[in-house]
Amino acid sequence: MKLYFVISLVLLTIVAKSQPANNYIQKGNEAYRKADFDAAVENYKNALRKDPTNNTARFNLANALQKRNEIKEAQKNYDQVIEKSGVNSLKSESNYNKGIASLKEKDLQQAISSFKESLRENPSDDDARENLQKALNELKKQQQQNQPQNKNQQQQNPKQQKQPPLNKQMMQQKFNELRNQEKQLQQKLQNKNSTVQPDKDW
């Protein structure tokens, strides 16, 4: 599974005040490529201290946090990018990576939701489509495995509810009911015998 990574220098010339932030992002990217995720996280955080609205720094911070298995923190940052970004591609990639993070957490419902959002922003993303399909298949498989257990529980529970522990009075009542049923059955048999027509004599 790919993990999207935005090259942040696209924003270098847009706003002069973001220059210090971009310097930190560049250092963060270098550290990220060397798999020094601690240094990457620190640099991205420094970039955000300089420019809290920098979505590229936040997105790359989320990626680095995910690499450090700080999944919840990564998801929070992806959510902030999704909420504040006006760029569809960045929203799509954030949703995609959030889906990957949710898979790591074994949260299939959230992963499915994130991959769907990613495809809304970028319908041509084959990786998002493939991962969505895998997550849907996995969820279906889990639901099928859980069904027999649920059925067994449903079958057992009513029986348990219908059969409370019998006290002495209830046992006597059951016994009386059975005795009455037996009497009625004997009477029916006697009546039947008395009304049976004998074979004809010739």
The pLDDT, as a whole number, for residue 196 is 36
What does the pLDDT look like over 111-151, one tens digit per residue?
999 999 999 999 999 999 999 999 999 999 999 988 766 56
What tokens appear for 142 in the block? 């889990």
Alpha-carbon distance 150 to 192, whole Å? Answer: 48
Is residue 27 exposed (0-12), middle (13-18) or buried (19+ Cβ within 10 Å)? Answer: middle
- In the chain, the amino acid numbered 112 is I
Token pair 């601690």 is found at: 38
Amino acid (one-letter) located at 80: Q
Residue 186 resides in a domain: no
Helix/strand/coil for 44? helix
DSSP conformational letter for 197: P
Highest mean pLDDT among 11-25, 56-70, 137-151: 56-70
Domain membership of residue 39 (yes or no) is yes
SS3 content of the chain, % helix, strand, coil (to 5): 80, 0, 20
Residue 108 maps to a domain: yes
Dihedral of alpha carbons 101, 104, 105, 106, sign = positive
Instruction: Look at residue 13 and tell me if it is in a domain.
Output: yes
CA distances from 116 to 59, 95, 109, 186, 196 (A): 19, 8, 11, 71, 77
pLDDT at res. 27: 93
> What whole-number distance in Å separates Cα of residue 52 and Cα of residue 18?
10
CA–CA separation, 46 vs 57, rounded Å?
9
Number of domains in the chain: 1
Element (H, E) at 31: helix 19-33
Question: Which domain does 99 fall in, by range?
Answer: 8-138
Question: Does residue 40 lie in a domain region?
Answer: yes
Looking at residue 122, what is its pLDDT? 92
**Within-domain flag for 32:** yes
Instruction: Residue 56: give its domain's CATH number.
Output: 1.25.40.10
Answer yes or no: is pLDDT of 45 > 60. yes
Domain contains 183:
no
* Stated pTM of the model: 0.65
CA–CA separation, 62 vs 3, rounded Å? 11
| Residue 175, domain member (yes or no) | no
